[in-house]
A and B are shown apart, each in its own frame.
Chain A
């Protein structure tokens, strides 16, 4: 079933992915071809060699769907349901096309296509509940979710014992042991060498005006509510998750970095995938600048030995346009700090 796909150089994918990917595209294109389409059958998906050919097909289908939507208003009532079903199937096809193409499309195109599809579904939904008021299954989901709970103020939970934050929430039904980390501290230098210890995840939370020095590898790093702190950390083999940081400086090396709700903070990163930000302002990025005795080996062991250049390829989830997001920038070279050496752990 595999291996017969014609390898006509689809642009983006090389590597082991290529073959499976092509086979999948071929299956998809077969499905597309077997579907009657007013605008003639589209070129098979596997022949897309560029974003622009994807876009032209995408836009063509979008326009066809939009005009069919518009025509519904004039259509015979008895045919309405049929029309809606057809349009719904076309939208589903378009959606599949985007999903398959998302392997090589630039992030911006994926997201704007996604938004278009969502809008089309909404339009169909509105139209069908307007024209067929008693429709059996309308998409009646109003956002049932409430606003995420606002972060409780720091004083309210200054139990100072470094128990896990989740346990404080009261809703956790199980007792959990302390995990490694620093919590509820101010104006201190917090240092830890985790080499030789079997540390999994490490947590930094509720710190104010602290300097954190973390030597050695961890698997996951959670950072929550930091103000005016400097965080110098060795490699993380999984992901770093930062939520709520203000006026901070981070030196981090990791496979993945996710930053939520950060303000006016600088990130010196080495990262294997693209760093992402969500709900951030004034985030600035530069390459990783940390040193301690043995860091080369640690980076090597964590598959972070090489600079990837990803530190500047930031994706902003809150920015849907192709233009540069106003929420982050590259830190100008003359404002960057020099290499930080934390070989002497304590200050």
Chain B
């Protein structure tokens, strides 16, 4: 376990966070990452493998600068064929983002099943969990509260830090709120314990 603790130390210094973003195909993961990074989202193909984005994230509370973090966001494709690759990315994940297409009611069962499986993973047991109830701009989308109910989030393991946030990668609404919580939660676990 020696190497792991060394890596942890280095991470602390650089204030790096490793964030894994998964969810069913078509849920909007790639759109979210590009949007939060201020990039063009008008032409996005379904993800064949995975992408990684490095984003510098500065945190202010009431205009006071209180931290600068480097987020390494792994955006892994959600098509059925490549879901089996997800597990390759579990190691050392600080934060997990699960993205839901709130307008795709038919596949909510699938969505719940895949999330349940993910949360059984020992290697992810320490990760903070952010659930994005995406596509809130679409008329007919379920609200975050409804999604929480369908996914039965209240039944989650009590030790898990989690939060669900409604968002739209289309308008950008909710994205910062979600990331703020995630970064804050990870930081309070990892960096402030020193």
Q: Please, how many angstroms separate the alpha-carbon atoms of A205 and B109 in the complex?
A: 17
Q: Is B146 an interface residue (CB 8 A)?
A: yes
Which of B46-54, B58-66, B179-187 lies at the interface?
A: B46-54
Query: Which residues of the other chain, B, contact A89 by a CB distance below 8 angstroms?
Result: 3
Pick the residue among B43, B46, B56 that contacts A315 (CB under 8 A): B46
Query: Which residues of the other chain, B, contact A20 by a CB distance below 8 angstroms?
Result: 37, 39
Pick the residue among B25, B110, B150 that contacts A174 (CB under 8 A): B150
Fill in one digit per residue for B118-158: 1 if any A CB lies within 8 Å of its CB, else 0: 00111100000000000101111110001001101000000
Given known pairs A171-B109, A200-B141, A260-B80, the reply for A102 and B87 (CB within 8 Å) is: no
Question: Are the C-beta atoms of A220 and B54 separated by less than 8 Å?
Answer: no
Q: Is A192 an interface residue (CB 8 A)?
A: no
Query: Which residues of the other chain, B, contact A149 by a CB distance below 8 angstroms?
Result: 109
Pick the residue among B88, B141, B149 that contacts A118 (CB under 8 A): B88
B residues 90-118 near A (Cβ < 8 Å) are 103-110, 112-114, 117
**How many CB-defined contacts (below 8 Å) exist between A and B?**
156
Q: Is A145 an interface residue (CB 8 A)?
A: yes
B89: nearest residue on chain A (CB-CB)? A95
Q: How many residues of B contact A (CB 8 A)?
A: 58
Q: Is B159 an interface residue (CB 8 A)?
A: no
Pick the residue among B46, B74, B109 that contacts A276 (CB under 8 A): B46
Fill in one digit per residue for B1-19: 1 if any A CB lies within 8 Å of its CB, else 0: 1110000000000000000
Q: Smallest Cβ distance from A295 to chain B, in angstroms?
A: 20
Question: Are the C-beta atoms of B121 and A141 separated by less than 8 Å?
Answer: yes
Question: Are the C-beta atoms of A144 and B117 separated by less than 8 Å?
Answer: yes
Question: Are the C-beta atoms of B84 and A317 separated by less than 8 Å?
Answer: no
- Size range of the chain A interface in the assembly: 35 or more
Q: Please, how many angstroms separate the alpha-carbon atoms of A102 and B53 in the complex?
A: 11
B1: nearest residue on chain A (CB-CB)? A136
Fill in one digit per residue for A238-266: 1 if any B CB lies within 8 Å of its CB, else 0: 11010000000000000110101000000
Pick the residue among B48, B105, B123, B146 that contacts A317 (CB under 8 A): B48
Q: Smallest Cβ distance from A166 to chain B, in angstroms?
A: 4
Interface residue ranges, B against A (CB under 8 Å) = 1-3, 25-26, 37, 39-40, 42-46, 48-54, 56, 74, 79-82, 84-85, 87-88, 103-110, 112-114, 117, 120-123, 135, 137-142, 146, 149-150, 152, 170
Interface residue ranges, A against B (CB under 8 Å) = 1, 15-17, 20, 24, 27, 85, 89, 95-96, 98-100, 102-103, 107, 110-111, 113-114, 117-118, 121, 136-137, 139, 141, 143-145, 148-149, 164-167, 169, 171-174, 176-177, 179-180, 198-201, 203, 205, 219-220, 222, 224, 238-239, 241, 255-256, 258, 260, 272-274, 276, 278-279, 303, 315, 317-318
